[in-house]
Amino acid sequence: MSTSEPRAPFGARLRSAVADRGNLCVGIDPHPALLEAWGLSVDPAGVAEFSKRAMTAFGDLVPAIKPQVAFFEEHGSAGISLLEDLLVEITSSGALSVADAKRGDIGSTMAAYARAWLSEGSPLACDALTVSPYLGVGALDPAFDAAESTGRGLFVLARTSNPEAGRLQGSVGDDGTVAQSVVDEVGRRNRTSFGRGGGSFGVVVGATVADPPELDGLHGPVLMPGVGEQGGSLDDVRRIAGSVLPRTLVNVSRHVLRAGPDVDSMRNVVVDLNRQYRFDNAT
């Protein structure tokens, strides 16, 4: 991309993609058990074939695709190379890439993560990156700065649905729960950087949590895993998202991928889910 044609902010690009393709985000998670279930080898060749079939099945159907970075990293340099290729292919499909890396550190280390995932010219550059705020939201400043300057986005872990999360993320302090403080800080940054429209900084909130944070002040997108095999429903998504429903990406991975290895079967599942999870006209 030339310097004369800067990338539009992630928030704006996401709104356009959602209006065109609905609110579904599908993961590409080449878990060893899934590779074996598909009759593929648990090695880089199997990961490559898995990713190819997944992209053929739904690359042109959904607004966002979320590779789980760990399942590529475990295959070393060959796996990282496959992830680099996949990120390019996602862009070519017209979808936005959300790299599920959950990076979070301090100082120069966080800056290095930001350069790796959010800078122009990096082979791992994605449209949006998941990050962990539990060294402090302020520790993520290099990622916030890099994302804003390059038109990319972040999804900051706020209230996740894993059982171990509740005690930490639901802990109550002077300003409410830890999860709420994360949402409020991300919302403040959206207002500062993008005004009160649609910002590029989002949060991750699980669809199965009983005590979700209030999202009305986020002014940005929500990535909501936990739907399908993890037990979350359409009603849960509506209950938790509230007014930010049109900017919510409903993340479904295993429910789609377990329909494989047949490409048409996976595609049919995504088409059906797309009918259920489309909120661009929601009020």
Q: Give the residue numbers annotated as catalytic, written as ranges.
A: 102
Burial group, residue 214, by CB count within 10 angstroms (0-12, 13-18, 19+): middle
| Contact (Cβ atoms closer than 8 angstroms) between residue 196 and residue 218 | no
- Residue type for position 175: D
Cα distances from 217 to residues 10, 69, 236, 264, in angstroms, run 18, 30, 19, 40
- Assess whether the previous peptide bond of 261 is cis (omega < 30° from 0): yes
| Contact (Cβ atoms closer than 8 angstroms) between residue 245 and residue 255 | no
Cα distances from 8 to residues 5, 34, 195, 201, 250, in angstroms, run 9, 36, 15, 14, 23
Tokens representing residue 32 in the block: 């060893």
Q: Which residues contact 246 (CB under 8 A, 6 or more apart)?
A: 18, 23, 279, 280, 281, 282
DSSP-based three-state secondary structure for 278? coil
